[in-house]
Amino acid sequence: MACKNEEMKLYQTWLGKADAEDILAELRAVEGDEMGISDRFYRYLEFGTGGLRGVIGAGTNRMNVYTVSMAAQALADYLAQKEGQHAVAIGYDSRNKSTDFAKCAAATLASNGVKVYIFPELQPTPVLSYAVRQLNCSAGIVITASHNPAKYNGFKCYGGDGCQMTDGAAGEVYSFMKKLDIFDDVKRGDFDELMAQGMISWIDDSLVESFLDSVQACSINPGVCRDSGLKVVYTPLCGAGNKPVRAILKRIGIDDVTVVPEQEKPDGNFTTCPKPNPEFREAFECALKLAETVKPDLLLATDPDSDRVGIAVESDGQYILMSGNEVGALMLNYMLSCRKEQGNLPKNPVCVSTIVSSDLGTEIAEKYGCEMRRVLTGFKYIGEIIGWLEADGEKERFIMGYEESYGYLCGTYARDKDAVVASMMICEMAAYYKKQKKSLLDVMAEIYNDFHYYGNRLLNYEFEGEEGVKFMNSVMDKLRTNPPADIAGDRVVTVSDYKLSVRKNLADGSESEIKLPKSNVLAYKMESGSSFIVRPSGTEPKIKIYVAAVGSRESANAKLDEFEKAGNSIMGK
């Protein structure tokens, strides 16, 4: 790939103006490498609802102190147009450069007259969401790339409500960002000097203790864990969950917790877990090995920014990983059934899940007279509903929110998914059922028996670089203009285009409006009740396909195999 003139000009500008030694070293190393230069400079990282996310390195298409400071400057400009004094809370996880990026963002904001509160050590993303509201901030930032591989980092932005920024607000910040010269228009002060002036302050440990108090208050059966004998192996996957997850488990009486030693301390290289994503079995390898000697009831794994948690449950000496859909259904069933029995289920309860999550949760909710609201993927939409309920004086109606991608929130103290409260609730569930001589797998089997077996599978297709982006766009365009009449021989009965906000019934040609924000998602519902949903990731260079089938375990899994072959064909794999 030849390097365009604009890309080469940017490269030369960076060589002349960048002063960070690691950036200059990388720029010099790619001299004469047109493909390497083009990949670093063919675009600026876009500021979307997830903020920025990209590979760490030199260039406009990379995460570095210059692109982070540029985003912080745009956020400062966005806040400056609003009345009043503004403050921003900043958190970060264990990723490479996270501390540096957090400090340079803080310095840029403070240089623009924005008061900054920053954590003195890494913290889970939900703690930042909590801090934004507790400290009366106008916005928040978390430096993280969640569960991505080590080469990534990100700049995730929150509104004053503690939710990730909405589409509209993110669009405004991005419009300010596009007006900036990355070197000449960005204020870069000295972090230590600004702290001495009082423009930057450390967040006190008492806020974290207050967060843990709020988490513990979500317990459904306080004290149930203390004499349960529950044994847990836990891995924070070298991330931010280590201290808070262990602290909350100790608070509720789970004393037999063994932490995976090689994944206990922060490690931005994720040496023992190259893909630190609890959705995948590879993330559990060290925990599974430790389980051979410890023999726990349960394995827990939280991702680097500790907003997601995955579990594996013991069964006849083996450890079975449970999906996000299954854990979400278990938690919803546990909370609703126990609260109904206790007589403290609120009037008109509400739970929230996403359009790509299993329909099993809807069936469970209906059994207990709970309203299930379905939203787009992105926990900000779940947090938004909590905010609406709170504004109406009805936040007690909220039971929980969850995504199939291992994100859960019980309670209204935060506005983002929280692996700390989810870890607590999972252990509490396990202890509660253990006293009934049941494992979580046993309870899941009972739920499937009461309703239906729901098979779900997530297919991931990665497409790196500029050509990858073009290919993903072409795939979505083809599907949108030429929708399939059937998928794997299963006739399509409805097509939902969330970008056009239209749901079409193919049997009679009728159309209805989808009353959700626009999103580049195509969903196909089949004659069998199965579904096939195609969605480009908003934070990674990949297309995700969510496939679901209902029936017996055998028939549903066979259908999922067929759908996977169809997905591979569509993606050219």
Q: What is the mean pLDDT of the chain?
A: 95
> Among candidates 349, 376, 245, 369, which has minimal Cα distance to 302?
245
Q: What is the phi/psi pair of residue 256, to 5°? A: -95, 75
Contact 258, 294 (CB under 8 A): yes
Alpha carbons 301 and 419: distance in angstroms, whole number: 9
pLDDT by residue (tens digit) across 79-116?
Answer: 999 989 999 999 999 999 999 999 999 999 999 999 99
Report the pLDDT value the prediction gives residue 2, as an integer from 0 to 100: 60
How many whole angstroms separate alpha carbon 294 and alpha carbon 259? 11
Q: CA-to-CA distance for 22 and 163, rounded, in angstroms?
A: 34
CA atoms of 432 and 223, how far apart (whole Å): 10
d(CA 480, CA 499): 10
The model's confidence at residue 466, banded by pLDDT at 50, 70 and 90, is confident
Whether the per-residue pLDDT at 452 is higher than 90: the answer is no
Structure tokens at 375: 């939203």
H, E, C per residue of 472-500: HHHHHHHHHHCCCCEECCEEEEEEEECCC
Indicate whether 554 pLDDT > 90.
Answer: yes
Amino acid at 254: I
CB atoms within 10 A of CB 392: 9
- What is the distance of C-alpha 161 from the center of its chain? 18
Predicted pLDDT of residue 30: 96
Q: Are 155 and 93 in contact (CB under 8 A)?
A: no
pLDDT, tens digit, 9 for 90 and up, residues 349-367: 999 999 999 999 999 999 9
CA dist 143 and 490 (Å) reads: 43
Dihedral sign from CA coordinates of 101, 103, 108, 110: positive
Q: Express each pLDDT in 241-251 by its tens digit.
A: 999 999 999 99
**What pLDDT score was predicted for residue 468?**
83
Pick from 519, 235, 179: which is nearest to 380 by CA? 519
CA dihedral 20, 23, 25, 31 (to 10 degrees): -130
Of 38, 111, 146, 323, catalytic: 146
Q: Per-residue pLDDT tens for 378-417?
A: 899 999 999 999 999 999 999 999 999 999 999 999 999 9
Residue 348's contacts (CB-CB under 8 Å, 6 or more residues apart) are 371, 394, 397
Going by the DSSP 8-state scheme, the letter that residue 275 receives in this structure is: S
What is the structure's pLDDT at 491?
95
127: confidence class by pLDDT, cuts 50, 70, 90: very high
Cα–Cα distance for residue pair 30/8, rounded to 1 Å: 12
Q: Is the model's pLDDT at 294 over the cut of 70?
A: yes
Average pLDDT of the segment spanning 43-48? 91
Q: Which residue has the higher pLDDT, 97 or 5?
A: 97
Strand 298-302, strand 231-235: pairing: parallel
Q: What is the pLDDT of residue 204?
A: 97
pLDDT grade, residue 166 (50/70/90)? confident
- 496 labelled catalytic: no
Distance, CA of 424 to CA of 402 (rounded, Å): 15
The token pair at 409 is 């929130």
CB 306 within 8 A of CB 419: yes
Of the candidates 550, 502, 558, 552, the one whose C-alpha atom is nearest the C-alpha of residue 529 is: 550
Report which secondary-structure segment, H or E, holds 389: helix 379-391
